[in-house]
Structure 1
Amino acid sequence: MKTINCIAIDDEPMALIVIEKFCMRKGGLHLTTFSEPRTGLEEIRRTKPDIVFLDIHMNSISGIEIANMLPHECCFIFTTAYAQYALDGFNLDAVDFLHKPFSYERFETAVEKAMRRIGTHKSAKAANLIVKQEYTNVSIPLSDILYIEALGNYVKIMRVSGGHVFTRTNLKSITDMLPSEDFIRIHRSYIIPIAAVASFSKTRITLKNKDTDLPIGAQHAPAVIKKLQEHIISENH
């Protein structure tokens, strides 16, 4: 059985001990705990665990704020003594909401829900990009991506079928979610699917669909041109 990597953040040490005991009882869960929320968030961003257990009412920063900053692929479960936060949790697409003190059986149910979501995400990952638009997860077929553009704190994903999706993230995070053999970053503001390129020069790219014309950034140009030339050679063999 594959080990599921987990991180728990709670400024109450006893709460972390309970989660640790329950993870050991469940088995197959590798848990790292943090009583300092911002340190825990840094580790989540660095390691991208499968499941995050997250207290809401903490002194330095709330769990709601942390949930808004988690990588898209992280499933998270809120653990809190304050039941009034349950609606916030579900609006943020939390896997579950554990109201302290919770039983092992309730904990196990939440973890199994998270594991099912992880399995669904992984099976969909090969053919889809899953991002969050407002409070909803949106699954976009990779074949339906025309190009991806950075706009301040958001990313706009233009679709071949028309329309677009806005998600609060950055291009680095999106790049990490895409297959590197099929997509390439051509500019600090743009990612494109390689197969969509109709023509290119040292400074511009034209895409097949809708004749979209995009710039190639100077620092990206050598890698972009090399990759596109390799793609043309492989297509002709």
Structure 2
Amino acid sequence: MVLKCIAIDDEPLALRLVSEYISRFPALQLVKTFDDAISGAEFLKTKPVDLLFIDINMPDITGIDLVRSLPVKPIVIFTTAYKNFAYEGFELEALDYILKPIDFKRFEKAVEKAIDYYRYKNKTTNEPTEESLYVYSEYRMVKIELSTIEYIESMEDYIKIHLTNAKTVLTLMPLKKVLEKLPADKFQRIHRSYIVPVNKIRSIQNRKVKLTDIELPVSESYQDFIRNWMKFR
């Protein structure tokens, strides 16, 4: 597996540094570099890539506007000297953004995430069942191991994913959409507001599901779940 990538940055030193860092990863193939956003945008219209490293502040068009204009978006890692573009990156679902000056360890972490996410997005049907979930939270793509999920709670337009050790991840996504991303044999919706991992159910009584540390209600429309669960116990 090799990810084809390009780098766009109007700062020659930064572009050379990103190119040199990319060359250290056998799983990355640097197809081309661009020192202006317009040339990079024209290239991407006819030659899509898997991964894009792009500066945000550029004189012709910004990296944000370039990515927004792409009909087919690659995995995007923004590089920037400014912290105040995080929300725009969130809107475009950028995988990560790295602050300049770019440290190699930080760059390596972003690349490893990109490779992992590429595998996740391009898995074939005959591959083993996925054991992780990716969601966008705190302006970055976050990987969540399915085994750490205690339950998932709807909060209007957001969902809160409750994890082991009392950790939580908040992401902008309807409950229905996250359910589609989860293996049906491992996660069940029990209420308009809750999804639970089947293997963490301790008991069901009086239309309530007892998990490790909490009880959650089961709504009338999901009573079939209770009957099916009880049938195999």
TM-score, structure 2 as length reference: 0.51
User: For 1:85-104, what aligned pairs fall within 5 Å after superposition?
Assistant: 85-104=85-104
* Rounded Cα–Cα distance in structure 1 between residues aligned with 2:71 and 2:77: 14
- Which residue does 1:47 correspond to in 2? 47
Indicate if the aligned counterparts of 1:45 and 1:70 stay in contact, CA closer than 8 A.
yes
User: For 1:7-86, what aligned pairs fall within 5 Å after superposition?
Assistant: 7-31=6-30, 32-86=32-86
DSSP-derived class of the 2:89 partner:
helix
Structure 1 position 42, deviation (Å) = 1.6
Indicate if the aligned counterparts of 2:67 and 2:73 stay in contact, CA closer than 8 A.
no
* Rounded Cα–Cα distance in structure 1 between residues aligned with 2:92 and 2:73: 13
* Rounded Cα–Cα distance in structure 2 between residues aligned with 1:20 and 1:74: 18
The 1:71/1:112 distance shift into structure 2, 3 A limit, reads farther
Structure 1 position 84, deviation (Å) = 1.0
Structure 1 position 48, deviation (Å) = 1.1
The 1:116/1:123 distance shift into structure 2, 3 A limit, reads same
**One-letter code aligned to 1:92:** L
* Rounded Cα–Cα distance in structure 2 between residues aligned with 1:118 and 1:86: 22
Question: What are the Cα deviations for residues 125-183 of structure 1, in whole angstroms up to 9, with x where unaligned?
Answer: 99xxxxxxxx97x79x8xxxxxxxxxxxxxxxxxxxxxxxxxxxxxxxxxxxxxxxxxx
What's the RMSD between the two structures over aligned residues?
2.7
* Rounded Cα–Cα distance in structure 2 between residues aligned with 1:71 and 1:51: 15
* Rounded Cα–Cα distance in structure 2 between residues aligned with 1:71 and 1:27: 28
**One-letter code aligned to 2:18:** I
Q: List alignment gaps of at least 5 residues for structure 1.
A: 127-134, 142-237
Indicate if the aligned counterparts of 2:36 and 2:58 stay in contact, CA closer than 8 A.
no
* Equivalent residue pairs, number: 132
The 1:27/1:60 distance shift into structure 2, 3 A limit, reads same
**One-letter code aligned to 1:28:** A
Structure 1 position 100, deviation (Å) = 0.3
* Rounded Cα–Cα distance in structure 2 between residues aligned with 1:48 and 1:8: 13
Indicate if the aligned counterparts of 1:6 and 1:50 stay in contact, CA closer than 8 A.
yes
**One-letter code aligned to 1:120:** Y
Indicate if the aligned counterparts of 2:7 and 2:33 stay in contact, CA closer than 8 A.
yes
Indicate if the aligned counterparts of 1:7 and 1:51 stay in contact, CA closer than 8 A.
yes
Question: What are the Cα deviations for residues 98-137 of structure 1, in whole angstroms up to 9, with x where unaligned?
Answer: 00012111101111111122112212799xxxxxxxx97x
- Which residue does 1:228 correspond to in 2? none
- Which residue does 2:120 correspond to in 1? 120
The 1:37/1:73 distance shift into structure 2, 3 A limit, reads closer
The 1:73/1:37 distance shift into structure 2, 3 A limit, reads closer
- Which residue does 1:108 correspond to in 2? 108
Indicate if the aligned counterparts of 1:56 and 1:80 stay in contact, CA closer than 8 A.
yes
The 1:21/1:94 distance shift into structure 2, 3 A limit, reads same
Larger helix proportion, structure 1 or 2? 1
DSSP-derived class of the 1:5 partner:
strand
Q: List alignment gaps of at least 5 residues for structure 2.
A: 127-171, 181-233
TM-score, structure 1 as length reference: 0.50
